Amino acid sequence: MIVGGAMEKPLQLCYPVLTLDGKELLPVGICLTPETMTELVRSARTETFPATRFLEYGTVAKDLRSYIEQPPYSHIFCNPARTKAVFDSLQQVEFGQHLLDIYSYFKSHDPYTYRHILTVFALSRLLAQDLFDDRKELSTELVAASNHDIGKVCVPPTVYNKSTPLNEHERMQLSHHATAGYVLLSYFFQDSNHPAAITARDHHERCDGSGYPRGIALRNRIVEIVAVSDVFDALISLRPYRPSSYNLRTALEAVSVRALNGTISTDVVSALISCNRKFQPHYTDCILSHEQRGTPPPDNIYQGATPCQRHPDCDPENEKKRVTL
């Protein structure tokens, strides 16, 4: 069931949220109250965002196909009928130019994030085939999955490309991408409750409330699918903070343990494991295990992110500082 986007806690920005061309949407220190977000959306309605089909933009379709033809995705997407269904549905997704420009920026300046967004996009749609019966919900999940990390455009590349441990300030800058993505996508889609905006904000939340930025217990099926896809792809991919990626066995064991410990969805992880099995059985036939026989890559210096927020009590004076949008 899709849970609404109501915010139990008002987030307060530790950093401003800027568009790619430098326009400040919201300043540092402002609380993301319903009134603030309504005002932001109202300002967006004065602009027009002509739409283009995502897979027809630049080399997106070609790039995505090349990524899923590489192991382990080559096996995950080995079923021609299921893969065709993924691409047929992806073909219907349209985005405005402001958003597409961010994808071009990532491709040029942060190839990891560009590749990561595309693979999470496709993997989330594949998993959703098993986990959703409603085609409307499937369509909603697509738009959400493709934009989960868009807020990284507001994070300095020196932070997410750093090969040495992040300091506290850098960890806060990194976590800012979730809230920044929420603001950006609320603006681009002219709706602060749009599934893409909610997913960008909440994809680092966890089922047991241990995530960020709000520390809520995640109960949104769309976000759960994206969160699992996000974790899995991050584990199996090369990153500056470790010399090698997780091998497939170790990555699946790691997500299985997280699911059994209550941090991410067991059903979604079961669907992920099913896609990686030789004959791809139904996900309900996959049993998760605490057993860990794989070995994580050595010298992994990633320390996670520090929630970038100043909730729950926002100073009312900050509301007076809100920019006129």
Distance (Å, whole) CA 55 – CA 173: 31
Report residue 135's pLDDT band, with 50, 70 and 90 as the boundaries: low
C-alpha angle 126-130-132 in degrees, rounded to nearest 5: 100
Write the pLDDT tens digit of every residue in 98-107: 999 999 999 9
The pLDDT of residue 310: 52
CB-facing half-sphere around the CA of 316: CA atoms within 13 A: 0
C-alpha angle 249-253-258 in degrees, rounded to nearest 5: 155
The pLDDT of residue 8: 59
Q: Report whether pLDDT(314) > 50.
A: no
30-320: in CATH 3.40.50.300: no
Residue 178's alpha-carbon distances to 202, 218, 261, in angstroms, are 7, 14, 23
Q: Report whether pLDDT(17) > 80.
A: yes
Report residue 281 as tokens: 């059985």
Question: If you search the block for the tokens 């009590």, which residue do you land on?
Answer: 313
Residue bearing the bigger pLDDT, 186 or 9: 186
* Amino acid type, 118: L
Write the pLDDT tens digit of every residue in 269-285: 999 999 999 999 999 99
Q: Report whether pLDDT(261) > 50.
A: yes
Beta-strand relationship, 94-96 and 51-53: antiparallel
Report residue 315's pLDDT band, with 50, 70 and 90 as the boundaries: very low
Quick one: which of 191, 154, 199 has its CA closest to 175?
Answer: 154
Write the pLDDT tens digit of every residue in 59-113: 999 999 999 999 999 999 999 999 999 999 899 899 999 999 999 999 999 999 9
The pLDDT of residue 6: 44
Chain-centroid distance, C-alpha 304: 15
Distance (Å, whole) CA 201 – CA 222: 12
The pLDDT of residue 309: 63
- Average pLDDT value for the chain: 89
Region 155-169 average pLDDT: 92
Q: Report whether pLDDT(301) > 90.
A: no
Distance (Å, whole) CA 12 – CA 10: 6
Q: Report whether pLDDT(51) > 70.
A: yes
Instruction: Count Cβ atoms below 10 Å from residue 104 Cβ, excluding itself.
Output: 15
Report residue 9's pLDDT band, with 50, 70 and 90 as the boundaries: low
The pLDDT of residue 243: 85
pTM for this model (two decimals): 0.91
Q: Report whether pLDDT(52) > 70.
A: yes
**Looking at residue 218, what DSSP letter applies?**
-
Q: Which helix (H) or strand (E) holds 232?
A: helix 221-236
Q: What is the CA radius of gyration of the chain?
A: 19
